Amino acid sequence: MSTLVKEVKHPYITSERKIRGGEPIISGTGIRVLDIAIRYEVMGMSPEDIIIALPHLTLPQVHDALSYYYEHKSDMDKRWKDAIKRTESIKRTYPSVLEKKIGKII
């Protein structure tokens, strides 16, 4: 018995190397799928909260971004963690000038 896997189409998501380095974004915007996923997963925002914060988006766009994220979750999470590591490395190499002047920011 074989299982057919139907590929889900994401009409609101595009990925183009010249825009955001090829990261998946909501078409016609610069908003990354990851930006939506972070607001939903980490910040605890509902899709309705997200469209209030980003009023140029529609609810179908937000839902499509979340669907895309969950479909590619492991890869997107890995890239996000790698980006955080790179940022931390850069911070160690180039300390904040502002923190030198006013002290550590909590």
Domains and CATH numbers, the chain: 13-102 (1.10.10.10)
**pLDDT 10s per residue in the chain (106 long)?**
566 666 779 999 999 999 888 899 999 999 999 999 999 999 999 999 999 999 999 999 999 999 999 999 999 999 899 989 998 998 888 888 887 788 776 6
- What is the pLDDT, as a whole number, of residue 106? 65
Q: What is this structure's pTM? A: 0.78
- What is the pLDDT, as a whole number, of residue 5? 63
What are the distances in angstroms from CA 46 to CA 61, 70, 80? 13, 15, 21
Nearest Cα neighbor of 40 from 11, 70, 80, 60 is 70
- What does the chain come to in residues? 106
